[in-house]
Structure 1
Amino acid sequence: MAMAEPALPPRGERLYEGKAKVVFATPDPGLVRIYFKDDATAFDGRKRGTIGDKGRLNARISAHLLRVVEAAGVPTHLVAEAGERELLCRRVEIIPLEVVVRNVVAGSLARRLGLEPGRVLDEPVTELYYKRDDLGDPLINRDHVRLLGLATAEEVDRIEAMALTVNRVLRSYLLERDLVLVDFKLEFGRAWTPASPPAAAPAAVPAEGAGAVPPTEPGTGPSGPSTGPAPGQDGGGGSAPGTGSRGTPGPGSTLLLADEISPDTCRLWDRVTGEPLDKDRFRQDLGGVAGAYAEVWRRLEGQR
């Protein structure tokens, strides 16, 4: 007789609600449940709407792709799927940085540098954005990270290395499914052992920001409980309340890939037609947003 799978911890109090997700406590202080909403925002919240089934699709796509990168050696906050549109995740202290990796010129990269959209880059371009809604999630460099005390130099090294590994793995994986990974944004967090909590507060709930930076792009997608718009996408960030000591990881912390990986936080183009299958369809009023997200999920499931 097959053994029954252990029950997942139930929802507790609502810890945080962002533009794209809601974070709930569980009886286990080291775990949270993240609920994906159908709400959509862009351009720092100036554009709002609802996309039917978006939350369910983003939860499924995120779980699938987080498992893909985990199998490649990148540790993530994902523990299990919890229903149709929820994930059970390790509770982390979100580092207020959005890491954008770009493979093809699009969005803000084209606007800022006068480059031709659609140009394939010889090497990936990595960018750091400060998660601050009130500042418009500005593009920053490593010196700014040090000045602001957001993370240690060692953490930034690891974050950038992990982001490039995610890019290498997903770029190949998605191309096999006729999806071009144009650019995407990632967020990272510190998971603390019970004996080594953050100096200033318990492990914080992942920050969330959603939407998009005015004329930015997939590095700025929505950042929910652990997700935030990717500066390449156009989204806003913002640290969740209660974050502990920034830039001081301590011996008891583990760096994890957090947030989500979905059409909200990635630019995905059909390899043959070049059609966007991501949140740009909402930003640019192209229509067919739900259908595009569903198509991405079908391809991941091998139902093309």
Structure 2
Amino acid sequence: MARRKKIYEGKAKILYEGPEPGTIVQYFKDDATAFNAEKHDVLDGKGVLNNRLSEFFMLGLNQIGVPTHFLKRLNMREQLVRSCEIVPLEVIVRNYAAGSMAKRLGLEEGQALPRPMVEFSYKDDALGDPLVPEEYIISFGWASQQDLDDIVALALRVNDFMSGVMYGAGIKLIDFKIEFGRVYEGEFMRLIVADEISPDSCRLWDIETGAKLDKDVFRRDLGSLTDAYTEVARRLGVLPANTGAPKPTLIN
């Protein structure tokens, strides 16, 4: 295979130049990180599961009219996505108190919130992705007020879709984070969902038992992360019921 040009390598993915202008190949790694990469491990098959699950969610969003960067899955670890200008924000949608919100406000984990809440954090690993108010975002030019209005509307549509899909699989969607990108068509700009949607970026609890099926399994040493992700994939029909975590040959 010809060596491709690497654009960027993050904690969980590598981005390569795509085969056509305006495209990127997104490669999912097996790396698991937590606490701003202070905790790290390599878990065989994790990248494959996240690739398949992100494909499942992005296709579903495209079908209901929520635009995403996803074009197609190329193989077990890679997908072709549309190049876009990433908005430097992580958009967090919370349905229940958990994680940092529960700690900040002294809430019991799992407490239902009065309504879905949207928070923003500034994408900067060195700063620990700090929460930022809308005033900061607009003043520093990271996004306009119209951008934020559109982002919140899209994020809540994603939440409605994800919550329903998960509920049908016996899973409670506690919270999740997504990213958005800008694409330009002449003078027209639109926002699309970018990056990934997977158990790496969601909190997922079993409705009956409360068992965690997301990266908190790794953060809190609660068992096998790939087993948890495999269970999510099985329930959603992404993997056959009798299939374990896939272990494909690595792609150079």
* Superimposed CA distance per residue, residues 40-78 of structure 1 (whole angstroms, 9 cap, x where no aligned partner): 111011111011100000000000011112222110000
Is the contact made by 1:11 and 1:25 (CA closer than 8 Å) also made in structure 2?
no
User: Equivalent residue for 1:213?
Assistant: none
User: Equivalent residue for 1:175?
Assistant: 167
User: Equivalent residue for 1:287?
Assistant: 223
User: When the two structures are superposed, what TM-score results if normalisation uses the length of structure 2?
Assistant: 0.91
Aligned residues: 239
Using the TM superposition, give the Cα deviation of residue 102 of structure 1 relative to its aligned residue in structure 2, in angstroms: 0.5
Using the TM superposition, give the Cα deviation of residue 170 of structure 1 relative to its aligned residue in structure 2, in angstroms: 0.9
User: Equivalent residue for 1:75?
Assistant: 67
Q: Distance in 2 between matches of 1:252 and 1:14?
A: 29
Using the TM superposition, give the Cα deviation of residue 282 of structure 1 relative to its aligned residue in structure 2, in angstroms: 0.5
> Please, which of 156, 166, 182 is the counterpart of residue 190 of structure 1?
182
**1:54-73 correspondence to structure 2 within 5 Å:** 54-73=46-65
Is the contact made by 1:11 and 1:26 (CA closer than 8 Å) also made in structure 2?
no
Determine which structure has the larger helix proportion and give its number: 2
SS of match in other structure, 2:71: strand
Q: Distance in 2 between matches of 1:62 and 1:287?
A: 22
Q: Does 1:255 align with 2:191?
A: yes
Using the TM superposition, give the Cα deviation of residue 12 of structure 1 relative to its aligned residue in structure 2, in angstroms: 3.3
Determine which structure has the larger strand proportion and give its number: 2
User: When the two structures are superposed, what TM-score results if normalisation uses the length of structure 1?
Assistant: 0.76
**1:85-124 correspondence to structure 2 within 5 Å:** 85-124=77-116
SS of match in other structure, 1:70: helix
Is the contact made by 1:11 and 1:24 (CA closer than 8 Å) also made in structure 2?
no
User: Equivalent residue for 1:242?
Assistant: none
Using the TM superposition, give the Cα deviation of residue 192 of structure 1 relative to its aligned residue in structure 2, in angstroms: 2.7
Using the TM superposition, give the Cα deviation of residue 93 of structure 1 relative to its aligned residue in structure 2, in angstroms: 0.8
RMSD: 1.4
**1:232-271 correspondence to structure 2 within 5 Å:** 251-271=187-207
Using the TM superposition, give the Cα deviation of residue 118 of structure 1 relative to its aligned residue in structure 2, in angstroms: 1.1
Q: Distance in 1 between matches of 2:135 and 2:3?
A: 40
User: Equivalent residue for 2:211?
Assistant: 275
Q: Which amino acid counterpart does residue 232 of structure 2 have in structure 1?
A: V
- Structure 2 unaligned segments of length 5 or more: list them: 242-252
Q: Distance in 1 between matches of 2:218 and 2:91?
A: 22
1:177–1:11 Cα change, 3 Å: farther
User: Equivalent residue for 1:212?
Assistant: none
Q: Distance in 2 between matches of 1:127 and 1:262?
A: 19
**Identical aligned pairs, as a percentage?**
47
Is the contact made by 1:12 and 1:27 (CA closer than 8 Å) also made in structure 2?
no
Is the contact made by 1:270 and 1:277 (CA closer than 8 Å) also made in structure 2?
yes
Q: Does 1:301 align with 2:215?
A: no
Q: Which amino acid counterpart does residue 258 of structure 1 have in structure 2?
A: A
1:33–1:134 Cα change, 3 Å: same
SS of match in other structure, 1:76: coil
User: Equivalent residue for 1:150?
Assistant: 142
Q: Does 1:49 align with 2:41?
A: yes
User: Equivalent residue for 2:247?
Assistant: none
Is the contact made by 1:14 and 1:22 (CA closer than 8 Å) also made in structure 2?
yes
Q: Which amino acid counterpart does residue 61 of structure 2 have in structure 1?
A: V
Q: Which amino acid counterpart does residue 257 of structure 1 have in structure 2?
A: V
* Superimposed CA distance per residue, residues 211-260 of structure 1 (whole angstroms, 9 cap, x where no aligned partner): xxxxxxxxxxxxxxxxxxxxxxxxxxxxxxxxxxxxxxxx3322110011
SS of match in other structure, 2:142: coil
Is the contact made by 1:34 and 1:88 (CA closer than 8 Å) also made in structure 2?
yes
SS of match in other structure, 1:102: strand
**1:130-145 correspondence to structure 2 within 5 Å:** 130-145=122-137
Q: Distance in 2 between matches of 1:26 and 1:100?
A: 29
Using the TM superposition, give the Cα deviation of residue 86 of structure 1 relative to its aligned residue in structure 2, in angstroms: 0.7
Q: After TM superposition, which residue ranges in structure 1, 4 or more long, deviate above 3 angstroms?
A: none
Q: Distance in 1 between matches of 2:135 and 2:68?
A: 26
Using the TM superposition, give the Cα deviation of residue 16 of structure 1 relative to its aligned residue in structure 2, in angstroms: 0.7
SS of match in other structure, 1:140: coil
User: Equivalent residue for 1:34?
Assistant: 26
SS of match in other structure, 1:149: coil
